[in-house]
Amino acid sequence: MRKQKIRLGMLLLMVVVSFTLLFSMTLVAESQEMVEPNQTEETEERSEEDKMLDEMEKIVDDFIAILHAAQTGDVEAMTRQAHVAQQFAEMMQKVALAEDEGILTEAQIERGKQIAQKIQDAMK
């Protein structure tokens, strides 16, 4: 049980660090380069990025629910953490790719920061 709590804590720390680094890097890149996203892209492409953020938020919400359940001793929650961690890793790759390609709008970046804040708030 103690090892599971330690693993859950380490996983949570990885999530927080990943979100923080991702959105910090975005802010630094924007402030240094002042790069604007390609304005010629269609609305449908933008909505795909919003869908990606919706999915990321759902994964974060699932993770927070698992965290709370695990803190109350729910062993099943501890077993679900690996699956959610895998989903999170895959989503972070998608978000990082979108960021590298410069296709996230300022509003989408702000939303990503708000999603990351949810994790930090859950740790308090």
Q: What confidence tens digit (pLDDT) does each residue in 61-102 have?
A: 998 999 889 888 888 887 888 788 889 889 888 888 888 898
How far apart, in whole angstroms, are the C-alpha atoms of residue 16 and residue 45? 28
- Asked if residue 63 belongs to a domain, the reply is yes
- Asked if residue 101 belongs to a domain, the reply is yes
- Asked if residue 19 belongs to a domain, the reply is yes
pLDDT above 70 covers what percent of the chain?
Answer: 63
- Asked if residue 22 belongs to a domain, the reply is yes
- Asked if residue 95 belongs to a domain, the reply is yes
- Asked if residue 102 belongs to a domain, the reply is yes
Q: What is the pLDDT of residue 113?
A: 87
Distances (CA, A) of 94 to 61, 76, 78, 80, 90: 18, 28, 25, 22, 7
| Structure-model confidence comparison of residues 106 and 34, the more confident one | 106
Domain of residue 61, residue span: 2-33+46-123
How far apart, in whole angstroms, are the C-alpha atoms of residue 75 and residue 56? 24
pLDDT average, residue stretch 21-44: 48
How many separate domains does the chain show?
Answer: 1
- Tokens 């933008």 correspond to what residue? 46
Q: Output the pTM of the full model.
A: 0.63
Residue 12 has pLDDT above 90, yes or no: no
In degrees, rounded to 5, the angle at the alpha carbon of residue 121 between the alpha carbons of residues 119 and 122 is: 65
Q: What is the pLDDT of residue 50?
A: 93
Q: Quote the tokens at residue 66.
A: 């698992």
Least confident of 25-39, 62-76, 102-116: 25-39
- Asked if residue 39 belongs to a domain, the reply is no
Residue 9 has pLDDT above 70, yes or no: no
pLDDT above 90 covers what percent of the chain?
Answer: 17
- Asked if residue 99 belongs to a domain, the reply is yes
DSSP 12-78: HHHHHHHHHHHHHHHHHHHHHH-PPP-TTS-HHHHHHHHHHHHHHHHHHHHHHHHHHHHHTT-HHHH
